[in-house]
Amino acid sequence: MQELKGFYPSTAGRWVPCPGSVQASQDYQDFYDRSEAADEGVAAHEVVELLHAKKPVKVGHIASNGFAISQEMIDGANLMLGVLPANAVLEEVLDFDHLHPGMKGRADAYAYSEDETILYIWDYKFGHMPVDPEENWQMILEAGRLAHTRGMEKVVMTVVQPRNFLSAPVRSWEVTIDELIKTYIPRVQAAVENATSDNPETNVGPQCAMCPARHACKALQESAMKVIDVSRGVSTLDLNPEATGRELAMLEEAAKHLKSRITGLQQQAIVHLRTGAPVRGYTLVPEEGPIKWTASPEQVFATADLMGIELRKPQEPITPTQAMNAGLSEKTVQAMSGRASKGPKLTKINQSKLKGVFKK
């Protein structure tokens, strides 16, 4: 069986729901420019490793990929290390040859309970977009590789995401070994078999946003075109509450598909323009980032002091959440802090969790 590029546990959130994305993206692994956020994430993981190894890390130091280390990275690494037990194994490379030849992945951290009945897996994310531990296919693959079925009872999968400001920075999901083996592993195996078949299935969904082939995907294009056709035929009507909720949910899902298609076409246009091919209605213009100091902080302060100008930031405490992570009790923090109300926010109900409540 031929080794496929980009077929990793870390991309399982894309290829489990859309097996066809593996073969579709073979020629586009480097099509999209690597984002600054991706490089920042690599540096943030390196800070975790360095601090775990008791090596000195300071703000302004340069990580091995050339990205400057920030205080946020150090705080995030301390949050990650703070939830790990002493026996945790970090950044271990795992092979998944039993699924596909050459498939490998790197587990951020894992550990077994003292009696080895529970497997704990941690995934460290430094980005802002919330990552859900529930049915997290990357950790499910890692669980299938690391779980010892004899005597094991469950797996606890935890996402540590210090810059997720929409929910808790540490979130967990539990699954029994029986459910892992009977429900989730078969879905992974079926997706691998489908992805490596002669005619793999493609499905449009949230996973399209991270697909290297989204600019060339016929299924996503057809989905986007259907949305356009519907929008042209819209007429004014007063919806009842039930219809309002249904249409809003449909349009929000459609907007995700459109965004995936748009970002793909934007990159395709950039590639054309860089090679000198004209793209109707578009051109490339220089884009400048924010102005940053090139001199050292000491030089900037010294120059401003000579002119009688104060450029140093006033001292202020760290955030309440950082204070609790540092060891200040939650009760003490609550007595000195609070959340300002921003008014009501429309939030989508998780129907699967709602059904689970009524089953009890």
Instruction: For residue range 321-357, list pLDDT tens digits in order.
Output: 777 777 788 888 888 888 776 666 656 666 655 555 4
For the chain, what are the domain ranges?
Answer: 9-195
In the chain, the percentage of residues whose pLDDT exceeds 90 is: 40
Asked whether the predicted pLDDT for residue 253 surpasses 90, the reply is no
- Asked if residues 95 and 106 have their Cβ atoms less than 8 Å apart, the reply is no
State phi, psi for 94 to the nearest 5 degrees.
-115, 140
Q: ∠ CA 186-192-198 to the nearest 5 degrees?
A: 130
Burial class (CB in 10 A: 0-12, 13-18, 19+), 83: middle
Band of residue 153 on the pLDDT scale cut at 50, 70, 90: very high
Query: What distance in Å separates the CA atoms of residue 122 and residue 286, rounded to the nearest whole number?
Result: 41
For position 28, what pLDDT does the model report?
85
Taking alpha carbons only, the member of 161, 194, 157 closest to residue 176 is 157
Q: Rounded mean pLDDT of 94-121? A: 93
Instruction: For residue range 35-46, list pLDDT tens digits in order.
Output: 788 889 999 999
- Asked if residues 143 and 48 have their Cβ atoms less than 8 Å apart, the reply is no
Question: Which CATH number does 9-195 carry?
Answer: 3.90.320
For position 347, what pLDDT does the model report?
64
Q: What single DSSP character describes residue 243?
A: H
Least confident range from 153-157, 234-238, 319-323: namely 234-238
Averaged confidence pLDDT in the chain: 85
H or E element at residue 154: strand 154-160
